Copies of this chain bind each other. A is one copy, B any other.
Amino acid sequence: MSRDPIRKAVRQLARLPGIGEKSATRLVYWMLTNGDTIPGQLAEALADLQETVTECSVCCTITTKDANPCTLCRRGGRDEAVLLVVEHPQDVLAFERTGEFKGRYHVLHGAISPLDGVTPDRLRIQPMLQRLQAGTITEVIVATDPDVEGDATAMYLARLLKPLGTRTSRLAHGISVGTNIEYADTTSLARALENRRDL
């Protein structure tokens, strides 16, 4: 136990993206003055998170240890021929909200960005290739973000998949350049999926 629990909590909160030391301080004092149970309940939720969460052995999204493969991978009635490849687990949720996609997902956990040290071997590309070897997938839709890293990743995957004879397509630019797929509105996402183009 730290000698100064307030400073310790501030330091931990300030590690999160978009939360600086001033915001973290404000949050900690807010918790302390707005209900005794809030820090404890948040602590419990975060401890559970760390203990129970793992990567899905099929699509690499984030799931719980007692639901692996994840709910979506186990669900029947999906089109086994189409694989939608996204950067982040939350992108899967964004597509599920559109209700337009009935195939399977694969999560790369990032996009190629040599400047940030993210080379292709840091992404979940090998597990994706293993899924393709089963032979049921005939089309891969690359749904990376429409930015430099997302473009580079899409080109890399297209080059990788061409020799395998797998049709490779990318989302249409129904999503505006610079958008985070995670924050895109449902209609734009549905349209982008509908108008996808071959790579």
Which A residues fall within an 8 A CB radius of B?
1-2, 4-6, 8-9, 11-13, 15-18, 22-23, 25-33, 36-53, 62, 64, 88-90, 93, 109-110, 182-183
Contacts and interface: CB of A to CB of B under 8 A. Distances in A.
A178 to B, nearest CB: 17
A9 B45 contact: yes
A9 B40 contact: no
B64 A5 contact: yes
Given A16-B31, A25-B90, A33-B109, A5 B39 contact: no
Contacts of A2: 45, 48
Nearest to A29: B90
Given A62-B32, A90-B26, A45 B109 contact: no
Contacts of A29: 62, 88-90
A110 to B, nearest CB: 8
Given A5-B64, A8-B48, A39-B46, 12 more contacts: A5-B45, A5-B52, A6-B62, A9-B49, A17-B30, A25-B93, A29-B90, A32-B62, A32-B89, A33-B62, A42-B46, A46-B46
Nearest to A33: B109
A183 B22 contact: yes
